[in-house]
Structure 1
Amino acid sequence: MTHLRWHPLTALLTVALLAGSAPVLAALDSTDSDNQSQNSSSAGPIKLGSTPSRVQPSAEDLGRSGLGEDGLVNAKPTIPSEFEIYVSGLAGIPIQRMGSDLMLPTRSFASVEANRQVPPDYVVGLGDEIQLTIWGSVDADLRMTVDRAGRVVIPRVGPVVVAGLRYADLNELLTRRVGQVFKNFQLSATLGRLRSIRYYVTGFVARAGAYSVSSLATVMTGLVQAGGPSAAGSFRNIELRRNGKAVGAFDLYDLLVGGDKKGDLPLQADDVLYVGPIGAQVALIGSVNRPAIVELKGNETVNDAIRYVGGLSTVADLRRVAIERLSERNDRRVVELILPVDGAQRLSSGDVIRAFNSVSAALPQAKQFKRIRVEGEVARPGDYVMSPNSTLSDAVQAAGGVTRDAYFFGTDFSRESVRRVQEAQYERALRDLETDFTRNTSTHKVSNAEDAAAAVQNQAGTTRLIDRLRATRPTGRVVLDLTDAARELPALPVEDGDRLYIPARPNTVGVFGSVFNAGSYFLKPGNSIEDIVKVAGGPTRGADTGSMFVLRANGSVISTRQSTSGWFGGNALASLSALPGDTVFVPEELNKTTFIQEAKDWTQILYQFGIGAAALKTIKN
């Protein structure tokens, strides 16, 4: 049996075949090249030349060659480096090396290069196709391929050496040579299919090896086709080697940051792209325009690193940044730098620069401008921005003052910071209520079917109560210490997000709960709470008058349990003078209905959270 050895040249030929690069095979096969030259320059009648057919690779071949069916390099999942994982943990978002996304091709290399315009300084070489059109005294439409001798053969004119000629000079040369044979003609020469060149990518690259590209390809094209530098490869130390010597250095940051393509040199046949090992890396996170990991080169500073990521963001604190340095055994030391004084400090590998947001942290109240909404009985209701030391009275004056119907005692003043605290306390109170209900249900003994039915009904009522309580949220109302005759607001400093509503003076009082005819009633001068309850028909037989309470228009609550004398259960609440906007609530007796029994102890809590009589009426219904 004969054993075949896999020669490196055989491998290169296989890669070229799988990539469908017919021009490369033609360049490597002297017989094919000579035949093409002879076919294109054969003597006889001048006619349109034919283009050699191109071998199309199969899907299986594309998979082996590393190309997809659309001509794209098959992308492999990128494995983040240890430093990327570390920095992403600090930032809370994925952080990648700057420039890594530039190495992902978005279209077929062949289509990109085919659509590129040939530059005037392009040098014609072996394998290029020249399309020659002549009209006038002679008509011709030729397709000619430059042979190994660097010539094209024009019928009845002869061979013309074009290899090494600039594309801009091609028309002039061919016109001069054809003019030696023909007169009174015009000529146009363009380049058709360009030759392919083979180059090598070595070093710390994602897919090292030999590749074939169009003769228009540059260093950047070659890098992208090879997948770019690997996780250990440098974006800033890329050499173009030709005939064993370095002829150019490419720093990808020049292109990314400055748009400078001076290092993106054209590739030639048998060039070598060498990607060096990655240099020192630092990360920039926080309020920068593009959080990323950047590679350092030379003695670069904090200012250089910030410039690479587009500078600090619009909302960043421009006065300072912090550097987290890696010391021995992974201990971190955080150093604050003052900008721009410390911007010239040199960086070390592994440094993490964090820029701070200057607007996310709340300023002290004494320095904040406050936005407050003023509504109700004022001349100009609306939103106002107040100076840091403004008070409620200043807000009323900014709104043009109050009207003659303004009822200061009923002012509804809500504060956002208070609402947040109330919500937390309200949630805690609801959890305690649920716990108490569950405990009472589990300890309740059921002796017969009637007790079981009552327990089920009680549980259903409890569930409805909890659901309605959760649907009602605190408003953040703050009870102001005012009297019924007050004509101004207290000198309370405002906060951002405050809402001030000054209602018109009402002339009714509401009565709800266990009375014969709940509703709102006109308030006459001198009416007491007892008078108002009598107008509503008085308490029902099941009313718990000892737990009755009154919600004042200013948000305060007065209950019968605050004193121990008077008409309602020996209490002074009955003789209390009724004020405009009062709401009287008469609860049900404990042993009369399970719902009121459960709700009674929570009514005052609801009022203390600023929920109001309308919400309580909704819960009851």
Structure 2
Amino acid sequence: ERITGTNVAVTMGRLRAIQVLVLGEVKEPGLYELTAMSTVLDALMASGGPTAAGSLRRVQLKREGKVVATLDLYDLLIRGDDSQDRRLRHEDVVFVPTVGPLVGVAGNVRRPAVYELRTERTLKDVLDLAGGVLPVAWLQRIQVERAEANQKKVVLDVDARDERALQAFRVRDGDLVKVFSIVKEEVNAVYLNGHVRRPGKYALKKGMRVSDIIRSEEDLLPDTYLGYALIKRLVLPSLERRLVPFNLGKAVLEKDPSEDVLLEPYDQIYVFSRWFFEPKPRAFIEGEVRKPGGYEIPEEGYTVRDLVLMAEGLTKGAYLEKAELYRTNKETNEVALFTFHLGKAMAGDPAENLKLQDLDRVVIHSVQEFLPRRTVSVEGEVNNPGDYPFAEGMRVKDLIFAAGNVKDSAYLKEAELSSYEIKDGKLCLIKRRAIDLEAALRGDPAHNLPLQPYDKLLVRRISEWKRERYVEIAGEVVFPGRYLIKKGERLSSLIERAGGYTDRAYLRGAVFTRESVRRIQQRNLDEMIDRLERELLAEAATYTGVSPEEAQIRKIELEQRQKFIQNLRRLKASGRMAIKLSHLRVLKGSPYDIELMDGDRLYIPPMDRVVNVMGAVYAPGSFIWREGYSYKDYVQLAGGYTRYADKANVYILRADGSAQKVRGGTVFWNEAKERWELAAFSGKLKLYPGDTIVVPEKLERIPWLRKIKDITEILFRIAVTTGVVANLY
């Protein structure tokens, strides 16, 4: 119909947007804004699709609280049917529930996968979901693996040739259906392998022999070994493997019936290369070629030139006038030498381009072997010291230039040039000349001397050039830190530069260490321990012919000795020097105002008013220092001597690093004054804060230590050197 006198125009604007909520087992659930023409599939795609735990068969469309449609995605994915896809409205909800019952199908089906069941209940339904079985499927037995009651797994077999059996078999959630293949190998096939032009599978016909597959030499690759081939045969019904060797040359080339083996199903024919049984011919080249080494060569026709080209050619330094070929006789192992003109050989001259044989070795010499390499050298304060090629007319200035010029630290007033002189052709003398290097660099001919081969130029270093020496001072000084010192600077100067002592400084306990002293102490310590170890282990080795009980005791003693030595080896020398600090005015000019060396370290501790007691006392520890207390008073504070205390060898480690033995008895030897003294006139032994009283143990309780000469003295020296009292074991 048409309305007379009326014109109508319809224009499409932008499509209206709707909001849809996608929930459940999707990758990105949430609220999505879609066009009004969108469907359930569009909403699923916008949310990333269902997760592995989401159902593909029960996607729900909810509208106003009710399920208005359920979408089975299998219809779309398997059959391409999207008729169930519904158009969405504003505020619709698309919900993907968790996946339902699952059955896995593996093997010879068209779509092996894990399938979600909906209306499918039988094995036939599941196989139909998988697209059916393949032609190579073995229908006599389809296997189903099943978990029963969450307790055990069982295996069920179904004959798929029986349609009723497939219809009757009910599948369950979690079943795994396996469809096996028929026999993998073709029953009428044989296989050709190895050194042939067309390896692979061949159809077996009645009466077929080896020569029916390998018809002539054209079917073989070069260097095929004709004297031997092999058939690996499967013997039925035992399925044992049997090897059938035959002569390939007689079977193929001569058609010898005794070697032309009659083939059987599943036969594997193996043809070998000649080089499978013997190594390929190789020739070796060394010297002035780019890639020296061994190379495989043909049996005939290969020449020296071919080998050089295989080694990627000659280097620039190759000597062309003469080269060598060493040939080894395989039977006698004798070596023959042939020389040839390398340049003519490379040009293809048949007389010089020798033909190669297996194990030949070609040596290409360098030009430098015939022209001696003459050099001059420069050492010392130049940027690039070392050897440099000698050139005629070369002078000192040229050598310095070649070495990258002199350094700022070079002493230019004098350098030393050493030359070799041959006297009467049998004696080599060295002649040294002093030159003004500064004048030589200006070109003064009196000093810019011409050089001779093998001359050596020594450029000296300016004395004390940038030789930095650092020492460290720490503890109770005003400005502790690391200081740069000059040569000859003394200890008092360092303390003065550090601002002097603080009010809390305990000068008697100052610790001064030096690396060179530490090395000497460590060497002496190692020597003492080595001597002790030799004596201990040598004395242990003298026990022979003892009873089992005594042998066990000796074994325990040996373990104790070894442990004792191990403990001693863990001790490290401290490098401490015993010094006595005092006020700077007094220290200056005293014997203890020592000259400093690189790496020295001074630590001035704060006052610590304690005296330490160690060793064979009942309660070793630290005790408050008291004026007038003797060492015996502190020993009593530590509980007194133990049963095995060696009272005659008590000694004191002073806070300043020195050590002093406590003298017992009326008369004793004073080592410092080298005289005998009476105890009454020797003065009372005074203790100071920071001192350590060491009470050693008697060695009688450790039988294996009694026989070691001067063991008490050794342990005393170790304690003084390391500042650590060594335990016996």
Of 374, 381, 398, 1:304 maps to: 398
Find the counterpart in structure 1 of residue 388 from structure 2. Answer: 294
Shift of 1:537: 0.5
Q: Percent identity?
A: 25
Change (3 A) 1:404 1:591: same
Distance in 2 (CA, whole Å) between partners of 1:284 and 1:554 is 51
Change (3 A) 1:325 1:395: same
Find the counterpart in structure 1 of residue 454 from structure 2. Answer: 350
Q: With a CA cutoff of 8 Å and minimum separation of 6, indicate the structure with the bigger relative contact order.
A: 1
Find the counterpart in structure 2 of residue 396 from structure 1. Answer: 495
Distance in 2 (CA, whole Å) between partners of 1:425 and 1:571 is 33
Which amino acid is the alignment partner of residue 546 of structure 1? A
Q: How many matched pairs?
A: 367
Find the counterpart in structure 2 of residue 339 from structure 1. Answer: 436
As a proportion of its length, which structure holds more helix? Answer: 1
Of 619, 642, 648, 1:546 maps to: 648
Find the counterpart in structure 2 of residue 496 from structure 1. Answer: 598
SS at match of 2:472: strand
Distance in 2 (CA, whole Å) between partners of 1:209 and 1:293 is 36
Is the 1:291–1:309 contact (alpha carbons within 8 Å) kept by the matching residues of 2? Answer: yes
Is the 1:372–1:383 contact (alpha carbons within 8 Å) kept by the matching residues of 2? Answer: yes
Distance in 2 (CA, whole Å) between partners of 1:348 and 1:400 is 60
Is 1:430 matched up with 2:529? yes
Change (3 A) 1:562 1:421: farther
Find the counterpart in structure 1 of residue 376 from structure 2. Answer: 282
Find the counterpart in structure 2 of residue 580 from structure 1. Answer: 689
Distance in 1 (CA, whole Å) between partners of 2:344 and 2:505 is 83
Find the counterpart in structure 1 of residue 418 from structure 2. Answer: 323
Distance in 2 (CA, whole Å) between partners of 1:574 and 1:462 is 40
Change (3 A) 1:536 1:280: closer
Q: How does 1:84-483 map to 2 (within 5 A)?
A: 230-231=367-368, 281-285=375-379, 288-312=382-406, 317-318=411-412, 319-328=414-423, 329-340=426-437, 341=439, 343-356=447-460, 370-443=469-542, 448-481=547-580
Of 630, 638, 645, 1:536 maps to: 638
Per-residue CA deviation, residues 448-501 of structure 1 (Å, 9 max, x unaligned), is 555434433332222222222222221221112468999858322212221111
Distance in 1 (CA, whole Å) between partners of 2:728 and 2:581 is 30
Distance in 1 (CA, whole Å) between partners of 2:387 and 2:584 is 67
Shift of 1:556: 1.2
Is the 2:317–2:367 contact (alpha carbons within 8 Å) kept by the matching residues of 1? Answer: no
Per-residue CA deviation, residues 240-289 of structure 1 (Å, 9 max, x unaligned), is xxxxxxxxxxxxxxxxxxxxxxxxxxxxxxxxxxxxx6785433455544
Change (3 A) 1:445 1:511: farther
Change (3 A) 1:514 1:286: same
Of 593, 606, 620, 2:702 maps to: 593
Which amino acid is the alignment partner of residue 714 of structure 2? W
Per-residue CA deviation, residues 386-437 of structure 1 (Å, 9 max, x unaligned), is 2323221111111121111111111111122222222232232222222322
Which amino acid is the alignment partner of residue 552 of structure 1? R
Shift of 1:607: 3.5
Find the counterpart in structure 2 of residue 199 from structure 1. Answer: none
Distance in 2 (CA, whole Å) between partners of 1:231 and 1:344 is 29
Larger radius of gyration, structure 1 or 2? Answer: 2
Change (3 A) 1:481 1:406: closer
Which amino acid is the alignment partner of residue 588 of structure 1? E
Shift of 1:377: 0.8
Find the counterpart in structure 1 of residue 114 from structure 2. Answer: none
Is the 1:317–1:356 contact (alpha carbons within 8 Å) kept by the matching residues of 2? Answer: yes
Is the 1:410–1:502 contact (alpha carbons within 8 Å) kept by the matching residues of 2? Answer: yes
Find the counterpart in structure 2 of residue 602 from structure 1. Answer: 714
What are structure 2's unaligned runs of at least 5 residues?
1-289, 291-301, 320-340, 348-363, 441-446, 669-677
Per-residue CA deviation, residues 572-608 of structure 1 (Å, 9 max, x unaligned), is 8996332111111111112113587676433321233
Per-residue CA deviation, residues 189-216 of structure 1 (Å, 9 max, x unaligned), is xxxxxxxxxxxxxxxx9979879xxxxx
Distance in 1 (CA, whole Å) between partners of 2:516 and 2:343 is 58
Shift of 1:337: 2.6
Distance in 2 (CA, whole Å) between partners of 1:456 and 1:602 is 25
Shift of 1:526: 2.1
Distance in 2 (CA, whole Å) between partners of 1:284 and 1:330 is 24
As a proportion of its length, which structure holds more strand? Answer: 2
Of 613, 625, 637, 1:511 maps to: 613
SS at match of 1:383: strand
Q: CA RMSD in A?
A: 4.3
What are structure 1's unaligned runs of at least 5 residues?
1-18, 20-59, 79-204, 212-226, 234-276
Is the 2:492–2:584 contact (alpha carbons within 8 Å) kept by the matching residues of 1? Answer: no
